[in-house]
Amino acid sequence: MGAERESVMDATLLAPGLDLRSDAHVHTGFAAGRDSVGVVVSAADRAGLRSLTFADQVSPDTTWLSAYADAVRRARHRTELSLRVGAEVEVVREDGWLAWPADLGHLEVVSVAVSGLPLADGPLGPRQVRAELAAGRLTADRVAEIVVTATVKGIERASRYAPVQLARPLCLLTQVGLDESAASDEVLDVLAAACRATGAAVEVSEAWRSPAPRVVATLREAGVTLIAASDARYAAEVGRWQYLRRV
């Protein structure tokens, strides 16, 4: 066993409840990433991983899902790793409406993300949310409530179509200058209950350092499945854990 593979096994022992031999969220050159599916798979193999979930970002304008899925399926013939075809789909309204691509038939898993504040007319970006907070038109409690409500409804909608993962939960709070403590214990309990009810696993993201240890502990105590996710844009970042070892 090489040094890189040994490092993965050592890291696994440092993170009870997280299998660091699996990376549940990676990107490729089809969307936010820089490398091909084959290059990402080779990097995962060198890192000693056993499974990999591709989760490139999609939207209603996405036209490459078929080619993307074909690339992952071809890669299965060249590796012993377990590979899943997934996609990251954004919640864009508070009612949980998702920015679905036209064709969902290729997806084996959906990674639900909340990167903007979902409102009735669409999401507000982090800069706009900060401006609303500064002007007093939004409060920290209200932002946290909207984020969790939209997240819960989003994973409920997504779970009707495919197995669900929740990407970087509550990360938007830190992006707009709020601490994750803005989400009360009661709010976190609602999120945990929704994850259990839908069978949604929660990604612990290396790239985004999210969720925070308090949230991880709450979800774990509630019996929610936690999975390791690099959110890697570059192949060299796949299966490389620092934050996850600490959390």
Domain boundaries, the chain: 3-246
Q: At what angle do helices 65-76 and 37-46 cross, to 10 degrees?
A: 40
Q: What is the pLDDT of residues 52-66, one digit of tens each?
A: 999 999 999 999 999
Superfamily of domain 3-246: Metal-dependent hydrolases (3.20.20.140)
**Please, which residues have CB within 8 angstroms of residue 240's CB and are 6 or more apart in sequence?**
47, 206, 230, 232
7, pLDDT greater than 70: no
Supply the pLDDT for residue 46: 96
Segment 174-200 mean pLDDT: 93
Please tell me the pTM assigned to this model: 0.90
12 touches 20 (CB < 8 A): yes
Instruction: Please write down the long-range contacts of 241-244, taking CB distance under 8 Å and 24 or more positions apart.
Output: 241/8, 241/11, 241/15, 241/20, 241/206, 242/206, 243/204, 243/205, 243/206, 243/209, 244/11, 244/15, 244/18, 244/20, 244/204, 244/206
- For residue 231, CA distances in Å to 54, 87, 131, 237 come to 9, 12, 28, 8
Supply the pLDDT for residue 182: 87
3-class secondary structure, 80: coil
Supply the pLDDT for residue 159: 97
41, pLDDT greater than 90: yes
Please, how many CA atoms are within 13 Å of residue 200, restricted to the half-sphere of its CB? 32
Supply the pLDDT for residue 11: 42
220, pLDDT greater than 90: yes
Q: What is the pLDDT of residues 69-118, one digit of tens each?
A: 999 999 999 999 999 999 999 999 999 999 999 988 999 999 999 999 99
Supply the pLDDT for residue 181: 81
Q: What is the DSSP letter of 48?
A: T
Cβ count near 65 (within 10 Å) = 20
